[in-house]
Amino acid sequence: MSNTTKLLMIILMVVTAVVVVQLINQPMGEKGAVQQEIIMGKGSLDAFVSESHNYEDRFLFTYTPKNPDSRFNCYMSYEFRENGNALENVSEKFYENVSVENPIVLEFPRKENSTYELKTLIEDKSGINLYKSEIKISPSTIENETEIK
């Protein structure tokens, strides 16, 4: 086995270990809900970090610039669905001076035994995708969050 092959195997093992540790260390949400984030796709700069909070009567989602020194003037489009029915559909809402101190915050009502979906897109003034994601939330757990790049 060549040194290059050994080095690649070691790098693969380290990356795998880091992913496993991150999955183990993910905080549990209310009622044991665990947030899973799957990163896939192309076309987004991944300039934001999302955080979700689940409460008995509502959801709270925050979108903060990944770089703590960044400030954005941006547009956000989102669609929030309950049991497949659109509750809120917003297209290109303008947010000014978005920063760590001034994140984008979305709050939605929550009913017991309902399934929810949230699709979000954040773009800069020129239309470049800064962040794109989809999340599906079942009655007892967050099934899947996909950050689309």
Helix (H) or strand (E) holding 16: helix 3-24
* pLDDT the model gives residue 65: 95
**How many residues belong to the chain?**
149
The pLDDT of residue 125 is above 50: yes
CA 68 vs. chain centroid, Å, equals 17
Residue with tokens 């076309």: 43
Q: Residues 7-29: what's their mean pLDDT?
A: 52
pTM higher than 0.85, yes or no? no
The pLDDT of residue 20 is above 50: no
Q: Residues 108-130: what's their mean pLDDT?
A: 93
* pLDDT the model gives residue 145: 54
Q: Does domain 30-148 correspond to CATH entry 2.60.40.10?
A: yes
* 52-63 core/surface letters (b: 16 or more CB in 10 A; e: else): bebeeeebebeb
Share of the chain above pLDDT 90, in %: 54
The pLDDT of residue 104 is above 80: yes
Q: For the chain, what is the mean pLDDT?
A: 78
* pLDDT the model gives residue 45: 78
CA 75 vs. chain centroid, Å, equals 16
Distance CA 45, CA 41 (A): 11
Q: What is the pLDDT of residues 21-48, one digit of tens each?
A: 444 444 444 433 433 333 333 456 789 9
Q: What is the pLDDT of residues 38-82, one digit of tens each?
A: 333 345 678 999 999 988 899 999 999 999 999 999 999 999 999
**Which residues partner with 34 through β-bridges?**
28
Of 23 and 108, the one with more pLDDT: 108
Helix (H) or strand (E) holding 129: strand 129-137
Q: Which two tokens stand for residue 30?
A: 């209310």
* pLDDT the model gives residue 54: 87
